[in-house]
Amino acid sequence: MRLTSFTDFGLRALMRMAGEPDRAHSTAEIAAEFGISRNHLTKAIQALAAAGIVETRRGAGGGAVLAKRPDLLRVGDIVAVLEERSALVECFQRDGGACVITPTCRLKGMLAAARARFLDDLNAHTLADCALPAAAPQGSPSVGANR
């Protein structure tokens, strides 16, 4: 199964937040750290906020924070939220797509079962299991750098 870059960006942001759960994270700083599109990351953060996974704050000291402790957020549930807009195959689209073999297709059920097992397997893990270590402050030597 291939995950979308939307999901990838959302997961990276959550992994960063899980490593430093007591502070707000701006999309600008996360996008810069990972070299990803701020615009696309913002959309992923909005989807995570709508699902109650993160909370966003405006203004000075604003940004995104986890809505729950990282050990309470299951990875499969997060992936399901982020992949909600992306159909595995055409017939999984909300409108059913335009696949001409849908009436006699037996593959759809197999794919649905495989997707469910994939998410169940991911749900054996929490965001705490994949949290990133705290980022080094800007201008500080990185971990393992020669001094």
Q: How would DSSP label each residue in 74-120?
A: BHHHHHHHHTTTS-SSGGGSTT-TT-TTGGG-SHHHHHHHHHHHHHH
Taken in order 83, 81, 125, 54, the sign of the CA dihedral is positive
Residue range 43-75, pLDDT digits in tens: 999 999 999 999 999 888 889 999 999 999 999
Q: Return the pLDDT at 144.
A: 45
Q: Which of 73, 61, 60, 70 is nearest to 23 (CA)?
A: 61
**What's the pTM value of the predicted model, to 2 decimals?**
0.84
Of the two residues 140 and 51, the one the predictor is more confident about is 51
Work out the number of other CB atoms within 10 angstroms of the CB of residue 73.
21
Whether 125 has a pLDDT exceeding 70, the answer reads yes
pLDDT at 41 over 50: yes
138 pLDDT band (50/70/90 cuts)? low
| DSSP per-residue string spanning 44-77 | HHHHHHHTTSEEEE-STT-EEEESS-GGGSBHHH
* Mean pLDDT across 83-87: 84
The pLDDT-based confidence of 139 (bands split at 50, 70, 90) is: low
